[in-house]
Copies of this chain bind each other. A is one copy, B any other.
Amino acid sequence: MSDLQKLLGYREPIFNASMAGAAGGAMAAAVSAAGGVGMIGVSPAPTAEWIKAQASHVSEIDTPWGVGFMGWALEADLSPLESFLEYGPSLVSISFGDVTRAAALAHEAGVLTAMQVGNAADLERALQDDIDIVIARGGEGGGHGRNESGTLPLLQLACAQTQKPVIAAGGIGTAAGIAAVLAAGAEAAWIGTRFLSTKEASGHENLKAAVRASGLDDTVYTRAFDIAQQLPWAPEFGGRALANDFSNRYADDLVSLEATEELRERMVRARAEADVALAPVYAGQAVEFVQREETCAEVLAELGGFRRILSDAAQRFA
């Protein structure tokens, strides 16, 4: 059992990534009930109703759960964090922005803080910031983040540089992948894409079907979707999504992409209608390992196979 496991009290060293739009209270509750740590992903400026609805899934459970925020959204408005803290999470993840005030607030409430890092400079900052847990996330991962370092080298560096618990993220989709990151020194795996097609994932069936139909070679890292939607993401945080008609046209040709109001509206419509040829379907390279609709409990049960894999490898190379 790892130190983080003792501290938080979970059974499986598996966190679902706090994917805004896909990881709501239903996923978090299901992952926590299955022994992992369920995370709720919060979009910028969530409504009070949405917060209440998500929290209703987890507020009564007696296993650990958490909430993930975009740092730049909390910089503008701390109230979504304040609201969630009232429901008693074990963990708050804050990435992509200045975490100072948000981390202080979480700590006042006795809640642990985590932060994603995507390169060596991020890691150095996280080790200085008031952050309890480092999430080392390689560019293989889906959704927003850096595309600079692979999970493996970043993880080796993070584990060598800190005594803080390190969670590995990016490209982990199988029990073998979990065995790998735990062997490298991670205390747990942070898994997004593998949960995208679960029964408990939020999101239109079109998106889930696109995820199931895609493989390792089918994702693209680009800022094109953010530019088109005029979203205030900092330029160093592009996103990995399924390649589609829109990204095929613009991912390598951002200079031709005009951020018009008309395009923004088309993109809003495409997202509402789950038109996967235009709207982004955020997913990482582990999309290869998503082949059917499953429950979160089924995913956890399969991923739990990492124990046997680790022990076999240790014996084989003893």
Contact = CB atoms under 8 A, between A and B. Distances in A.
A287 to B, nearest CB: 9
Interface string A146-178: 001111111111011000000000111110110
A314 B309 CA distance: 9
Given A174-B160, A289-B156, A313 B310 contact: yes
A174 B155 CA distance: 11
B317 A306 contact: yes
Nearest to A174: B156
Interface in A114-162: 119-121, 138-140, 148-157, 159-160
B119 A317 contact: no
Contact of A317 (B2, B215, B317): B2
A181 interface: yes
Contacts of A181: 152, 180
A151 B148 contact: no
A123 B139 CA distance: 21
Contacts of A310: 183, 310, 313-314, 317
Contacts of A274: none
A86 interface: no
Contacts of A1: 316-317
A172 B149 contact: no
Given A307-B317, A310-B317, A317-B307, A177 B153 contact: yes
Interface residues on A, range: 35 or more
Contact of A182 (B177, B183, B185): B183
A180 B157 contact: no
A156 B215 CA distance: 12
Contacts of A179: 183-184
A179 B307 CA distance: 14
B174 A150 contact: no
A62 interface: no
A92 to B, nearest CB: 25
A318 to B, nearest CB: 7
Contacts of A149: 140, 216-217, 285
Contacts of A183: 176, 179-180, 182-183, 309-310, 313
A141 to B, nearest CB: 9
A288 interface: yes
A256 interface: no
Contacts of A313: 182-183, 185, 310, 314
A13 B317 CA distance: 9
24 contacts: A2-B317, A13-B317, A119-B216, A140-B149, A140-B150, A149-B285, A150-B150, A150-B170, A150-B285, A153-B171, A153-B172, A153-B285, A153-B286, A154-B216, A156-B172, A156-B174, A156-B288, A157-B216, A159-B176, A179-B183, A182-B317, A183-B310, A310-B310, A311-B318
